[in-house]
Amino acid sequence: MTRKTERGARPESDSATTPEAGIDRRSFFGMTAAGAAAVGALATGTQAEAGVQFSKERGAFGGGGAMTGGASRSENELYDCEVDGTLPADLDGVFYRVGPDPQYPKEKPSIAFDGEGHIGMFRIKNGHVDYKSRYARNQRWKAQHAARRALFGTYRNPFTNDPSVKDISGGTANTQIAYHHNLLFALKEDSPPVAMNPLTLETVDDYYTFKGGMKGKTFTAHPKVDYATGEMICFGYEAKGLLTKDIEVFSANRQGRVVWQAFIQAPYVSMIHDFAVTDRHIAFLAIPLNTSMDFLRSGGPHWFYDGETSSMLGIMRRGGDGKDIRWFKGPNWMATHTMGAWSDGEKVYVDMDGAFGNQFPFFPNVHGAFDPAKSAGRITRMSVDLNDKGADTYKYEVMYPQITGSLARQDERYVAKPYRIGFLNGQGRWHKVDHQTGQTSAFVGGPNTSLAEMSFVPRNKNAPEGDGYLIGVATRTNENGRSDLVIVDTQHLDAGPVATVHLPYRLPGQVHGFWVPGDQLPKA
Ligand code: V55
Ligand code: FE
């Protein structure tokens, strides 16, 4: 039986004994009158009557059976974590991490990219570590919390949603963290940032628009902060709504005010997960993860991989009106993350991790089956020379063919300029590559361990490029997925962790991690 809640109409009476529930609802929910009123104001549609039951099937979306892929849902705090080894005395900052953590089971399975954003923070200072985690209280989370059930269907497909959520944001805030003008952003590329207090993880704005300066409906999970100017350069694709080719690109100054903005057109609608910014140019890679209205109407998870579409690299002048954008054709391949990018006059170089085939098996292939051998990511350098007015293709070169992985990162002080050191996450290893010497080294997580994406932490403000630490979470698969935070020295990756922060439980799944230095945090 389902029942219209009508809680918005009478929030107070709902907190008292309700005849149909037969029990004191206030004490059942453990809720204060204020809390009940807040939920009442948010309640939409109907509330689930049955208890929460996730699939017990191993590997199912949010299923309880998977060793590490299951739902966690537990928001935790642990003051002064246990530390093995010695944390560098001057290590001061916060390691944030975010990933999808299903809030409620779904009637029909979705893909793992679709879980609600759960953010964790490790505050590290003076050799001590305090851990805290919170879900992003975004519009979707609040509506589902009130309804006590899932209201969004499959991944980024409004045709599969409950009618009650047609006017609220479906953003999960589950992909990456950014930090700018004293705000922490939890990001999903189909919606605006969710702004959080960086010290408490309290959601302060569930639909952040840079004081109205951002005009589009979407915002990337990978904005870039140019350390030379302090600006955050941002974009959003499908910016004017579902399946639109519009890309908004803008820059916010240190105060968060939009100081430059342009709209451009993509050659076709595709996943543009990351982009590249140099001191002079901005580059977007359109890839064969494509979509169509028919695919969405049939209930598809937003993307399919089209084995016959060419990738296109678009280059525009930074700070211009976007009319100069040129799209250069490339192979049928996909790439998701930018390691680094720079301009040398009119020559533009973009390094990304990618593969010559679909890397995401849960997005169906058209034209051929999913091929795991073609999904291994490699660092690939794309380049164009804008002085060549007749050129309509970009050049590309696979670097370090012996290293496979994904989630490329760099020393973020070198965003937008020539860089030397890159990092890649792959097969239980954190790789470091040195483009100057061609040398590579790696931290190996070891037996029964999988490694989530790391972040780079400079040893100190003036440390040379890439000199410092890699920090990230290790999952112990032989301990029911228990988690450790490990810190390794980039000069001695093979020596193992300098410190291991021991957690007594399994952390929620992670997509990306992000480091914020202590001197950039707001004062408590
Ligand atoms: C990625 C992850 C996403 C997503 C799109 O790593 C791309 C790529 C966690 O969600 O929605
Ligand atoms: Fe990403």
Token pair, residue 292, equals 């169509």
Residue 253 and residue 320: Cα distance in Å, rounded?
A: 16
User: Are 172 and 110 contacting, i.e. CB atoms less than 8 angstroms apart?
Assistant: no
- Nearest ligand by distance to the CA of 510: 1
Task: Confirm whether 6 is domain-assigned.
Answer: no
Q: Is 355 helix (H, G, I), strand (E, B) or coil?
A: strand
Whole-number Å distance, alpha carbon 220 to ligand 2 midpoint, is: 9
Q: Which helix (H) or strand (E) holds 277?
A: strand 275-277
Instruction: List the 378-385 sheet strands across, edge first.
Output: 334-344, 347-355, 378-385, 395-398
Among protein residues, the one whose CA lies closest to atom 10 of ligand 1: 113
Give the position, in ligand 1's atom list, of the atom nearest the Cα of 99: 9
Whole-number Å distance, alpha carbon 407 to ligand 2 midpoint, is: 7
User: Are 48 and 486 contacting, i.e. CB atoms less than 8 angstroms apart?
Assistant: no
Kindly write down the DSSP assignment for every residue of 172-206, as one continuous string.
---SEEEEETTEEEEE-TTSPPEEE-TTT--EEES
- Nearest ligand by distance to the CA of 175: 1
Task: Confirm whether 388 is domain-assigned.
Answer: yes
Q: Which helix (H) or strand (E) holds 38?
A: helix 33-42
Among protein residues, the one whose CA lies closest to atom 7 of ligand 1: 273
Which residue has tokens 């990351």? 274
Task: Confirm whether 413 is domain-assigned.
Answer: yes
Q: Which domain holds residue 275?
A: 25-520
Whole-number Å distance, alpha carbon 336 to ligand 1 midpoint, is: 9
Confidence at residue 480, expressed as pLDDT on a 0 to 100 scale: 86
Residue 222 and residue 514: Cα distance in Å, rounded?
A: 11
Which residues, given as ranges, of the chain have pLDDT below 50? 1-44, 65-68
Give the position, in ligand 1's atom list, of the atom nearest the Cα of 511: 9
- Nearest ligand by distance to the CA of 221: 2
Question: Residue 223 has what DSSP assignment?
Answer: -
Give the position, in ligand 1's atom list, of the atom nearest the Cα of 175: 9
Distance linking the first and last C-alpha atoms of the chain:
48
Among protein residues, the one whose CA lies closest to atom 5 of ligand 1: 273
Confidence at residue 451, expressed as pLDDT on a 0 to 100 scale: 96
Q: Is 270 helix (H, G, I), strand (E, B) or coil?
A: strand
Among protein residues, the one whose CA lies closest to atom 3 of ligand 1: 113
Task: Confirm whether 16 is domain-assigned.
Answer: no
Confidence at residue 24, expressed as pLDDT on a 0 to 100 scale: 31
Amino acid type, 11: P
- Nearest ligand by distance to the CA of 177: 2
Confidence at residue 53, expressed as pLDDT on a 0 to 100 scale: 85
What are the C-alpha distances in Å from 189 to residues 176, 192, 237, 271?
9, 8, 8, 9
Q: Residues 200-233: pLDDT tens digits? A: 999 999 999 999 999 999 999 999 999 999 999 9
- Specify the long-range contacts of residues 362-367, CB closer than 8 Å, at least 24 apart: 362/111, 362/112, 362/113, 362/301, 363/111, 363/289, 363/301, 363/302, 363/303, 363/304, 363/305, 364/300, 364/304, 364/305, 365/304, 365/305, 365/307, 366/304, 366/305, 366/306, 366/307, 367/306, 367/307, 367/308
Confidence at residue 39, expressed as pLDDT on a 0 to 100 scale: 38
Task: Confirm whether 169 is domain-assigned.
Answer: yes
Instruction: Tabulate helix, strand, coil % of the chain (nearest 5).
Output: 10, 35, 50
Residue 502 and residue 474: Cα distance in Å, rounded?
A: 10
Residue from 156, 189, 220, 238 whose mutation best tests the ligand 1 pocket (most atoms within 8 A of CB) = 189
- φ/ψ of residue 432, rounded to 5: -120, 135
Among protein residues, the one whose CA lies closest to atom 4 of ligand 1: 113
- Nearest ligand by distance to the CA of 116: 1
* Structural domains counted in the chain: 1
Helix extents (H) in 283-422? 293-297
Whole-number Å distance, alpha carbon 406 to ligand 2 midpoint, is: 9
Task: Confirm whether 266 is domain-assigned.
Answer: yes
Count the helices and strands in the chain (H runs, E runs): 5, 34
Amino acid type, 30: G
Give the position, in ligand 1's atom list, of the atom nearest the Cα of 156: 11
Residue 278 and residue 338: Cα distance in Å, rounded?
A: 12
Kindly write down the DSSP assignment for every residue of 40-82, as one continuous string.
HHH--SB---SPP----STTSTB-SSSTTTB------EESS-E
Q: Which residues line ligand 1 (CB under 6 A)?
A: 100, 113, 174-175, 189, 273, 336, 511
Question: Residue 518 has what DSSP assignment?
Answer: G
Whole-number Å distance, alpha carbon 175 to ligand 1 midpoint, is: 6
On average, the pLDDT of the chain sits at: 90
Task: Confirm whether 20 is domain-assigned.
Answer: no
Kindly write down the DSSP assignment for every residue of 438-490, as one continuous string.
--EEEEE--TTEEEPPPEEEESSTTPPTT-EEEEEEEEEGGGTTEEEEEEEET
Give the position, in ligand 1's atom list, of the atom nearest the Cα of 189: 11
Residue 439 and residue 115: Cα distance in Å, rounded?
A: 38
> What is the 3-class SS of 145-178, one letter each residue?
HHHCCCCCCCCCCHHHCCHHHCCCCCCCCCCEEE
Residue from 270, 273, 303 whose mutation best tests the ligand 1 pocket (most atoms within 8 A of CB) = 273
Give the domain CATH number at 48.
2.130.10.10
Whole-number Å distance, alpha carbon 100 to ligand 1 midpoint, is: 10
Among 162, 115, 143, 111, smallest CA distance to 302 is for 111
Task: Confirm whether 57 is domain-assigned.
Answer: yes
Residue 25 and residue 247: Cα distance in Å, rounded?
A: 47
